[in-house]
């Protein structure tokens, strides 16, 4: 049987570029070389696309062993650009059987890359255009979840354009609705980039200004004294929920440094919750996954209020990290699915969705 050609698209023009590079390295190492031929497709900070497939023997040193080198694509062949001005030579040796998009944040996790792959007719791992776009927008995610009966933390939203004119009226409304502290977040980013825990009006103003550097819209949520619990979902028509994990950290909140750098951050698997709490959150994770029309994978993040034990669904991450410290692969490993098998299943779900799409009529018959 011939090997499947798997394109790993990574990097990107977002604040999560470096995290994406590390995730791609993990996925590359997890692919069974007897079943797959990996094709690395790197997107630089400048938006340039690069391909490396004939020189994969260079990658263990240039990419796997040195993520910083991968960030600048030092190990990729500069002569193999995905989109050429010169059409006399193809960018790829052969068509791809499936793509594993692992660009986190804007341009990879917001439906744009998925739309490109849909138009090209290439199967890809993970959620489709609609669900990736919805889940990337924290405010719209809450609207869908609320209608589905999933408990959420309320929010208020202001556009970057409005904030640049004046924030006084907006802050007045938030202060009337929510007590301090509140959280100020860009509506469409991940990895806690641009997120602030705000305790005063003066900080509120500067936090909105900073968050607006990263997105067109900013949301504000009330701070709740809560534990952070996560659940991984895997599957297509019949998705499964993993065991739960808990994140413990010493910082003010689970910020970028706590996620990727702080040695004091702990990932506890399984989470210290009651069987009833576990059953409830796993059921809510599956309900949210279906309500947002997700496919393949998502990491579902909960807040569990310390005082009441009540869960609130915070967000769904449709392209969760695959770094050594990432919760998604760790949760499935604890649930009995090791990383190589997890990657196999994600690829199979991508192909399953493609077969389903191919079965649809594309010509109207009266």
Catalytic residue list: 53, 191, 260, 299, 301, 315, 317, 321
Best CA proximity match to 330, nearest among 266, 251, 279: 266
What phi and psi values does residue 208 have, to the nearest 5 degrees?
-60, -40
Distance between CA atoms of residues 38 and 8, nearest Å = 7
Q: Which two tokens stand for residue 92?
A: 């790829």
SS3 25: helix
User: Which residue's structure tokens are 């990097």?
Assistant: 11
Residues 6+ apart with CB under 8 A from 280: 311
H or E element that contains 41? strand 36-43
What phi and psi values does residue 9 have, to the nearest 5 degrees?
-95, 120
What DSSP letter does each residue of 273-288 carry, written as one string? --HHHHHHHHHHHHHH
Q: How many helices (H) and strands (E) does the chain have?
A: 13, 13
Distance between CA atoms of residues 363 and 366, nearest Å = 10
């Amino acid at each position: 049987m011939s090997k499947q050609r798997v394109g790993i698209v990574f990097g990107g023009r977002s604040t999560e570029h470096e995290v994406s590079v590390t995730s791609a390295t993990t996925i590359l190492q997890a692919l069974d070389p007897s079943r797959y031929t990996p094709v690395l497709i790197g997107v630089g900070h400048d938006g340039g696309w690069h391909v490396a497939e004939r020189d994969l023997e260079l990658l263990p040193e240039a990419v796997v062993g040195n993520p910083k080198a991968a960030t600048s694509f030092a190990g990729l062949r500069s002569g193999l650009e995905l989109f050429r001005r010169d059409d006399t030579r193809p960018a790829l040796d052969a068509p791809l059987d499936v793509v594993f998009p692992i660009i986190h944040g804007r341009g990879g996790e917001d439906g744009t890359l998925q739309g490109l792959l849909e138009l090209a007719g290439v199967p890809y791992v993970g959620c489709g255009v609609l669900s990736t776009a919805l889940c990337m927008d924290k405010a719209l995610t809450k609207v869908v979840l609320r209608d589905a009966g999933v408990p959420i933390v309320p929010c208020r939203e202001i556009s970057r354009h409005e904030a640049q004119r004046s924030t006084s009226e907006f802050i007045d409304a938030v202060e009337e609705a929510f007590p301090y502290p509140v959280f100020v977040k860009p509506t469409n980013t991940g990895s806690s980039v641009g997120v602030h825990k705000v305790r005063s009006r003066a900080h509120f103003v500067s936090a909105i200004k900073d968050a607006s550097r990263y997105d067109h819209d900013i949301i504000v949520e009330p701070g709740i004294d809560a534990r952070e619990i996560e659940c991984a979902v895997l599957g297509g028509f019949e998705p499964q929920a993993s065991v739960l994990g808990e994140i413990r950290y010493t910082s003010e909140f689970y910020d970028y440094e706590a996620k990727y750098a702080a040695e004091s951050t702990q990932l506890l698997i399984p989470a210290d919750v009651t069987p009833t709490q576990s059953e409830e959150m796993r059921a809510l994770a599956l309900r949210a996954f279906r309500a947002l029309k997700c496919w393949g994978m998502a990491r579902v993040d909960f807040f569990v209020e310390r005082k009441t034990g009540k869960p609130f669904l915070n967000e769904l991450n449709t392209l969760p990290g695959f770094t050594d410290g990432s919760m998604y692969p760790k949760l499935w490993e604890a649930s009995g699915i090791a990383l190589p098998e997890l990657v196999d299943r994600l690829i199979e779900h991508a192909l399953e969705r493609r077969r389903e799409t191919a079965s649809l009529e594309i010509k109207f018959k009266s």
